[in-house]
């Protein structure tokens, strides 16, 4: 008994000593003061506009706060309501549909374009790369405006020429089956050039000798791609896939402009649901709960990315 108390006391003493250590000498105190002074502006901003809202969102998600009117603690009520809310499940399915198509198609197209535009003797490849990259620098919300008009039948360029080619489509944006593909196309259009550039950087890290050796050995282009390019690009592919997935789970801009989540909520994503519940219906507690579901999804994807980053250095 006596011994146990002594051990605890000894441990507390070492902890206290360790805590006091940074403050022990004047030089150390000054060093710490300097460092935290440097970080002060960022830390204040992060505390006030990041961590405090995060905690407040967690608290809000446990209340029935509705902006106008009183607020009551309802425990996990919002989360229980979510589980039984067909709207939430519908929007979750929409989000997964959007991400599930946008992510692999963007990545595959980006890889194909990178392979195409990484050829040594291709004339004008810089201009072609730049042209394909342009959507990455323009506002998705603004770029979605011409897309919306292109899909509008009364002036619709796309619908008119498709009809000329014998493909008769209805109004894409008011069709429950075609509206989602339309916003997916715009999502892919926006990011494919960006991912392509990352892929080109990945391609340039592969030593040319590998290809030369394989060519001498008579490997076909497909074999070279399958046995050299693809395995050596696996890190890049993983990175691009995860950032593409994270971006597509947060889809909002072009959907807001093109369909507003309609028709009949067929293009409403989780972020749009947060926006609608929080800022149209003012169900802010409920919106916060949906926010935390989104946070969970993104967190899992980010942790996958982190894990991968730590194993990133694959050398051949």
Q: Which is nearer to other proteins, 127 or 314 (CB)?
A: 127
Is residue 151 close enough to count as binding other proteins by CB under 8 A? no
CB 281 within 8 A of CB 197: no
For residue 306 the two structure tokens come to: 């982190």
Q: What are phi and psi of 164, to 5 degrees?
A: -60, -35
Is residue 198 close enough to count as binding other proteins by CB under 8 A? yes
Closest CA to 196 of 138, 135, 110: 110
| Choices 51-59, 87-95, 96-104, 169-177; region in contact with other proteins by CB under 8 A | 51-59
| Choices 8-16, 35-43, 83-91, 100-108; region in contact with other proteins by CB under 8 A | 35-43
Q: Which is nearer to other proteins, 88 or 256 (CB)?
A: 256
Judged by phi (left if over 0) then psi (alpha if -120 to 50, else beta), residue 166 lies in left
Instruction: Name which of residues 111 to 140 contact other proteins (CB under 8 A).
Output: 113, 116-117, 119, 121-125, 127-135, 137-140
CB 302 within 8 A of CB 241: no
CB 284 within 8 A of CB 74: no
Q: Which is nearer to other proteins, 5 or 154 (CB)?
A: 154
Is residue 74 close enough to count as binding other proteins by CB under 8 A? no
Is residue 143 close enough to count as binding other proteins by CB under 8 A? yes
Q: Which is nearer to other proteins, 10 or 46 (CB)?
A: 46
Residue with tokens 């961590």: 51
To the nearest whole angstrom, how small is the minimum distance from the Cβ of residue 123 to other proteins? 7
- What residues does 63 pair with on adjacent strands? 73
Determine how many CB atoms are found less than 10 A away from the CB of residue 191.
23
Instruction: Name which of residues 243 to 302 contact other proteins (CB under 8 A).
Output: 243, 246, 249-250, 252-253, 256-257, 260, 271, 274-275, 278-279, 284, 287-288, 291-292, 294-295, 298-299, 302
CA–CA dist 171, 174 (Å, integer): 6
The residue from 10, 142, 230, 264 that contacts other proteins (CB under 8 A) is: 142
To the nearest whole angstrom, how small is the minimum distance from the Cβ of residue 19 to other proteins? 9
To the nearest whole angstrom, how small is the minimum distance from the Cβ of residue 7 to other proteins? 25
Binding-site size for other proteins (CB under 8 A) equals: 107
The residue from 11, 72, 226, 307 that contacts other proteins (CB under 8 A) is: 226
Q: Which is nearer to other proteins, 53 or 207 (CB)?
A: 53
Which residues have CB under 8 Å from 264's CB, separation 6+? 176
To the nearest whole angstrom, how small is the minimum distance from the Cβ of residue 13 to other proteins? 18
Q: Which is nearer to other proteins, 89 or 157 (CB)?
A: 157
């Amino acid at each position: 008994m006596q011994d146990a108390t002594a051990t605890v006391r000894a441990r507390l003493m070492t902890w206290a000593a360790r805590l006091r250590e940074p403050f022990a000498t004047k030089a150390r105190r000054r060093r710490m003061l300097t460092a935290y002074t440097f970080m002060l502006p960022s830390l204040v901003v992060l505390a006030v506009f990041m961590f405090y809202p995060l905690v407040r969102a967690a608290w809000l998600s446990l209340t029935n706060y509705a902006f106008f009117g009183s607020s009551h603690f309802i425990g996990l009520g919002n989360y229980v309501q979510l589980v039984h809310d067909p709207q939430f499940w519908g929007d979750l399915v929409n989000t997964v549909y959007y991400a599930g198509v946008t992510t692999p198609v963007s990545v595959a197209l980006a890889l194909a374009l990178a392979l195409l535009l990484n050829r040594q003797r291709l004339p004008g490849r810089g201009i072609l790369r730049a042209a394909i990259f342009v959507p990455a620098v323009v506002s998705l919300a603004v770029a979605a405006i011409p897309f919306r008009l292109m899909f509008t039948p009364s002036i619709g360029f796309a619908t008119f020429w498709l009809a000329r080619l014998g493909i008769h489509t209805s109004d894409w944006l008011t069709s429950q089956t075609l509206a989602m593909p339309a916003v997916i196309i715009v999502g892919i259009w926006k990011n494919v050039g960006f991912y392509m550039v990352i892929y080109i950087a990945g391609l340039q890290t592969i030593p040319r000798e590998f290809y030369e050796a394989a060519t001498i050995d008579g490997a076909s282009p497909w074999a070279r791609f399958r046995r050299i390019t693809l395995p050596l690009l696996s890190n890049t592919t993983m990175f691009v896939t995860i950032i593409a997935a994270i971006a597509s789970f947060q889809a909002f801009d072009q959907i807001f402009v093109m369909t507003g989540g309609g028709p009949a909520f067929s293009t409403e994503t989780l972020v749009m649901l947060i926006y609608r519940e929080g800022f149209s219906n003012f169900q802010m507690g409920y919106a916060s709960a949906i926010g935390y579901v989104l946070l969970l999804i993104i967190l899992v994807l980010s942790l996958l990315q982190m894990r991968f980053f730590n194993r990133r250095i694959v050398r051949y």
